Amino acid sequence: MTTTTQMQALATQVRRDIVRMVHAVQSGHPGGSLGCAEFFTALYTSVLKHDPETFTMEGHGQDMFFLSNGHLSAVWYSLLARTGYFPVSELATFRRLNTRLQGHPTPAEHLPGVRVASGSLGQGLSVALGAALAKRLNNDPNLVYTLHGDGELQEGQIWEAAMFATGRRVDNIIATIDYNGKQIDGPVEVVMPLGDLRAKWEAFGWIVLEMDGHNLVEILTVLAEAKKLTGHGRPIVILMHTHMGQGVDFMVDKHQWHGSPPSDKDLESALSQLEETLGDY
């Protein structure tokens, strides 16, 4: 069992990985990744039933995770590497020629841990629902987890999937929304308001939970509660309140850091705020 102190140390190292990866190739999406460092850390160290050594596409006997907002690849790759899916040193190949660590995740390069391509938004919930139905057919009691951006909820397919999940009574799925209120062009409330997000999901028949995405104890508690609520005929969604760019003061809550790489000077400043807890790649 990983302690929350250990998890916090890992999350800090993951943040270092993120800014270093994006800086190295001067491309990528640091903001959302930084905001979800605690979530991924909790998920991969303490929530998912998984085994990097025996990863299979089918995922029989294990929980599955689908990243729908694929531009958060940096945080996912960091956690996959640091929990044993592939060597940590491979993070240095992020977005470079012949890498398995494509700009957006894909199974095409056979990277362990990735089951479907994502990046074109709005598709991951549907795919995860299919995987959840397969688990049901296989009498596999394990769960399917997903992560989505809040801006991503502007895609119509998300709501097709939301309707399908309740219509077909898929109750072995826990979806999480990275509710940071920011997207490329600005605040979500300006670009295209989501309105009462809780009411929207509830109207579609989902059980809605909320949590502070930067509080590891709360993340663990709410994910445990979500797990208890599975198997009762309804899908579960967690509105996870986060700050884009969390952990790097000049990036916090700035939508400009959705998809911009830090300069050399920015990197220096960012790394000075993030202790090298577990060793850089």
Partner 1 sequence: MTHYTSTEQKDTRSGFGAALLQLGRSNPDVVALCADLTGSLKMDAFAKEFPERFYQAGIAEANMIGVAAGLAIGGKIPFTGTFANFSTARVYDQIRQSIAYSNTNVKICASHAGITLGEDGATHQTMEDLGLMKMLPNLTVINPCDYNQTFAATLAIAEYKGPVYLRFGRPKVPNFMPADQVFEIGKAIMLSPGSDVTIIATGHMVWMAIQAGIILQEKGISAEIINIHTIKPLDTQAVLTSVKKTGCVVTAEEHLMNGGLGDSIAQLLALQLPAPMEMVAVDDKFGESATPEELMVKYGLDIPHIVEAALKAISRK
Q: 166-185: which residues touch partner 1 (CB under 8 A)?
A: 167-168
Q: Is 163 in the site for partner 1 (CB under 8 A)?
A: yes
Q: Is 137 in the site for partner 1 (CB under 8 A)?
A: yes
Q: How many residues bind partner 1 (CB under 8 A)?
A: 38
Q: Can you tell me which of 43, 128, 147, 271 binds partner 1, judged by CB under 8 A?
A: 128
Q: What is the DSSP string of the chain?
A: ---HHHHHHHHHHHHHHHHHHHHHHT-S-HHHHHHTHHHHHHIIIII----GGG--SS-TTS-EEEESSGGGHHHHHHHHHHTTSS-GGGGGGTTSTT-SS-SS--TTTT-TT--S---STT-HHHHHHHHHHHHHHTT----EEEEEESGGGGSHHHHHHHHHHHHTT--SEEEEEEE--EETTEEHHHHS----HHHHHHHTT-EEEEEETT-HHHHHHHHHHHHHHTTSSS-EEEEEE--TTTTSTTTTT-GGGSS----HHHHHHHHHHS---S---
Beta 182-183 vs 186-187: how paired, if at all? antiparallel
Q: How far apart are CA 47 and CA 122, in angstroms?
A: 24
**Of 84-92, 156-164, 215-223, 242-250: span binding partner 1 (CB under 8 A):** 156-164
Q: Is 207 in the site for partner 1 (CB under 8 A)?
A: no
**Of 41-49, 85-93, 118-126, 174-182: span binding partner 1 (CB under 8 A):** 118-126
Q: Give the Cα-Cα-Cα angle 268, 271, 276 (nearest 5 degrees).
A: 140
Q: Is 118 in the site for partner 1 (CB under 8 A)?
A: yes
Q: Can you tell me which of 123, 176, 230, 260 binds partner 1, judged by CB under 8 A?
A: 123
Q: Is 67 in the site for partner 1 (CB under 8 A)?
A: no
Could you tell me if 248 and 37 are in contact, meaning their C-beta atoms sit under 8 angstroms apart? no
Q: Is 192 in the site for partner 1 (CB under 8 A)?
A: no
Question: Which three-class secondary structure string do you get for 135-154?
Answer: HHHCCCCCCEEEEEECHHHH
**Of 82-90, 108-116, 180-188, 235-243: span binding partner 1 (CB under 8 A):** 108-116
Q: Can you tell me which of 107, 112, 205, 259 binds partner 1, judged by CB under 8 A?
A: 107
Q: Is 126 in the site for partner 1 (CB under 8 A)?
A: yes
Name the token pair of 156: 């119509």
Q: Is 203 in the site for partner 1 (CB under 8 A)?
A: no
Q: Is 132 in the site for partner 1 (CB under 8 A)?
A: yes
Q: Is 54 in the site for partner 1 (CB under 8 A)?
A: no
Q: Can you tell me which of 89, 98, 139, 156 binds partner 1, judged by CB under 8 A?
A: 156
Q: Is 230 in the site for partner 1 (CB under 8 A)?
A: no
**Of 40-48, 55-63, 232-240, 254-262: span binding partner 1 (CB under 8 A):** 55-63
**Of 31-39, 164-172, 192-200, 211-219: span binding partner 1 (CB under 8 A):** 164-172
Of 93 and 106, nearer to partner 1 (C-beta) is 106
Binding site for partner 1 (CB under 8 A): 57-60, 66, 106-108, 115-120, 122-135, 137-138, 156-157, 160-161, 163-164, 167-168
